[in-house]
Chain A
Amino acid sequence: MWITKYTDQEKKKKLNQLEEQESSLSGPKTLTYLKCFASPVDELSLQIKYSRLAKKIFDKCEYLPSIRIVLLGGVTLNQWVDALRFWLLLEGFRLEPLIIPFGVWRQQILDNSSELYQFSPDIVWFFAQPSDLGLDGGKIVGLEAADSAVSMAIEDMVGLVSKLSENTTVLPILNNLVPPAFGPLGNYEGATPHSISSSIQKFNLELASKAPCGSVIFDIAHIACRFGLNRWHDYRLWYYSRHPFSFEVNSECAFAAAKLLLATRGESKKCLVLDLDNTIWGGVIGDDGLGGICIGSDGGASGEAFAAFQIWLYALKERGIALAVCSKNNIETAQEPFKSKAGMVLKLTDFVSFKANWNNKADNIRDIARELNIGLDSFVFVDDNPAERELIRSELPEVSVPELPADPSDFIACLASGFWFETIHVTLEDKQRIAAYQQNVVRTKFNAGHSNLHAFLKGLQMTAKWGEVGEHSIQRAVQLINKTNQFHLTTTRYTESQARVMMNDPNYWVGWFALTDRFGDHGVISVVILSIANNVASVDTWCMSCRVFSRTMDNFIFARIVEIAKSRGCITIVGKYKPTKKNSVVNALYSQLGGSKMSSDSNVSEKIWQFDINETFSLDSEYIACNDS
């Protein structure tokens, strides 16, 4: 694995050093120190030390947001949860777990007053084993029995998850099933659809299509296969204490789980910055020229490897991860292979930004971050040059920098091993995002040419659409709520289930807003949730994508909020602002919109404004036409 560059010996030393100084280090310092060398494939003794350390420093990390997770299944999960605690701390979360005793997990789902519900979890994680679902063999003989066993198991899971959703708005995460390492049919296990192995595969496929809306599947089967089923299963631990897998697995599995949890919060990485020479082709274009660089089948084994890497990168781009180039080259030289070299897969149009110059790469990446208007913590930097990697690691510690191996055949595995781009679904907006980033760069250049704001805004020819969130828009709406940080007045975070509850509740109005301008369609860029009671419309949630700041879209949206409030018979609108590190851009929004401040200045955690609906506000945007179609 290539996340860090230290040997096990070096890591042990670093850990010992940390343990000596640990009581004097702050929470953030300790975590930063750990993050630079702890890796999920470290040997077992290191893994056990990490789990211990996580417990020791847990109280220092109260500043981190917590995630409350209930874990269920007929298994013993304590050591796995200890590993998850460590890897979640490194990702910036405090884990608050509740492991339901394995004899009573079904009962606790069915009983509304159980510990499970009283715990008020954010997430319920199903660690069901084949034995919990009747798929552990011995009982399955013959094709019909196998088919019916799978159907019953699916119904069982779906039923339990639905029951959970009846009573709560938690996010259910469901493990699929890991096949056994051996079966009594030998090779025939895979050759017949009625073996346990095949039944488990069938179950996993059906789960992927039948899992209830809003639930997330954790593909533990794939992690097990990658780890090696032989090494994964430790039947002694299963027979002795019902542990689901060998302890060697704990860290890798917990790391993958932590990255999935990030994805559920919309916090996966968004942009991959790539070097060119010896990173996406073999050789140095400036020295070797078009004839000398190596890509595709003409380039031998490494040419094939680089081409495969480009295909992988292209697939990332297709699902909405932004690709950018940062290369020390003249721009014409750097762009030549894209225009004229056979075997290249990526095209210039696949990149949202192309920096080829002789400046410092850290400065270039900062520029890219500004252009795309995303934080440095959204970046991954891939470069074959260890000096460049070290530079970025020290100048821009929020950027993830994998330790790229020497052989291009290993590049894909290296990039995949960081789990930086996990997602829980791929929406239409994700696919359109790249075009949107590129349009934004064109807009940035357009902006630069206009010193007259009025002319500029008029020139954008903006039109907006809006409506109530429904089935077609709920995924995008939830995505926006969870990943927006800057223009987010109350920084609420809701799961799909929670959003659905409000969507269907007449005391709430959940709305989406989309914007188009002369350069293209931004898609849905804002979500508003109003809670309506006693003639007061309270703005529970208002978030907006930073791509459309400073264009009077906030005026447009607030004018619509006023319309909705009026139509529901409200006489007052209340807006709240909860300050965070990232949302100071909206700290005076409600004042600017004409509201009266109701909270005292000494209240630092929440500020409140009130609007009287009968007063006239010069609110609506003169630059944005409403597209009613």
Chain B
Amino acid sequence: MSVSRVDLILGLQDIFRDVFLDGSLVISEETSPLEIEEWDSLAHITLVTTVEKAFDMRMSADDIGDINSVQMLIDVIIKNSNS
């Protein structure tokens, strides 16, 4: 059963709201550190580990480094969930 990207965005939005302390944050595939000021390298690590836990998956060190948008985050989730 595959989950649609739209469903994934909704799940990620909750996580983003938690990590960035903004209950009204709305994200889309284009959302990147350019749009969210607090998305610095430290918050990035917190974000990816929270996503890993929430989606019960594990990213590689390269994945962690490469992710710089919600779109790439979703790609990584889908890629790693298939294995």
- Asked whether A442 is an interface residue with its Cβ less than 8 Å from the other chain, the reply is no
Q: Interface code A199-243, partner B: CB below 8 Å = 1, 0 otherwise?
A: 000000000000000000000000000000000000111011101
- Asked whether B11 is an interface residue with its Cβ less than 8 Å from the other chain, the reply is no
Q: Collect the chain B residues with CB atoms within 8 Å of residue A236's CB.
A: 59-61, 64
- Asked whether B21 is an interface residue with its Cβ less than 8 Å from the other chain, the reply is yes
Q: Interface code A228-261, partner B: CB below 8 Å = 1, 0 otherwise?
A: 0000000111011101000100000000000000
B25: min CB distance to chain A, Å? 14
A245: min CB distance to chain B, Å? 12
Number of A-B contacts (CB under 8 A): 38
Q: In the bound complex, what is the Cα–Cα distance between A247 and B50 (angstroms)?
A: 10
Tally chain A residues at the interface, Cβ within 8 Å.
18
Q: How large is the interface on B (under 10, 10 to 19, 20 to 34, 35 or more residues)?
A: 10 to 19
B39: min CB distance to chain A, Å? 14
Known A-B contacts A79-B42, A247-B46; the reply to A48 vs B19 at CB < 8 A is: yes
B26: min CB distance to chain A, Å? 20
Asked if A52 contacts B42 (CB within 8 A), the reply is no
- Asked whether B18 is an interface residue with its Cβ less than 8 Å from the other chain, the reply is yes
Q: Collect the chain B residues with CB atoms within 8 Å of residue A241's CB.
A: 41, 45
Known A-B contacts A45-B53, A48-B19, A52-B21; the reply to A240 vs B65 at CB < 8 A is: yes
- In-complex Cβ contact of B45 among A43, A52, A56, A79 (8 A): A79
Q: Interface code A565-601, partner B: CB below 8 Å = 1, 0 otherwise?
A: 0000000000000000000000000000000000000
Asked if B45 contacts A48 (CB within 8 A), the reply is no
Which residues of B in the span 29-72 have a Cβ within 8 Å of any Cβ on A?
Answer: 41-42, 45-46, 49-50, 53-54, 59-61, 64-65
Residue of A43, A235, A240, A241 most packed against chain B (CB within 10 A): A240
A8: min CB distance to chain B, Å? 12
Main secondary structure of the interface of B (DSSP, over half): helix
B56: min CB distance to chain A, Å? 12
Asked if B61 contacts A79 (CB within 8 A), the reply is no
Q: In the bound complex, what is the Cα–Cα distance between A113 and B79 (angstroms)?
A: 51
Q: Collect the chain B residues with CB atoms within 8 Å of residue A56's CB.
A: 21
Q: Collect the chain B residues with CB atoms within 8 Å of residue A48's CB.
A: 18-19, 46, 50
Asked if B45 contacts A243 (CB within 8 A), the reply is yes
- Asked whether A110 is an interface residue with its Cβ less than 8 Å from the other chain, the reply is no
B37: min CB distance to chain A, Å? 16
With A44-B50, A52-B21 given, name 7 new contacts (CB 8 A).
A45-B18, A48-B18, A48-B19, A78-B42, A79-B45, A236-B59, A236-B61
B residues at A contact (CB < 8 Å):
18-19, 21, 41-42, 45-46, 49-50, 53-54, 59-61, 64-65
A residues at B contact (CB < 8 Å):
43-45, 48-49, 52, 56, 76, 78-79, 235-237, 239-241, 243, 247
- Which 8 pairs show the lowest CB-CB distances between chains A and B? A236-B61, A247-B49, A44-B53, A240-B61, A78-B42, A239-B61, A240-B64, A240-B65
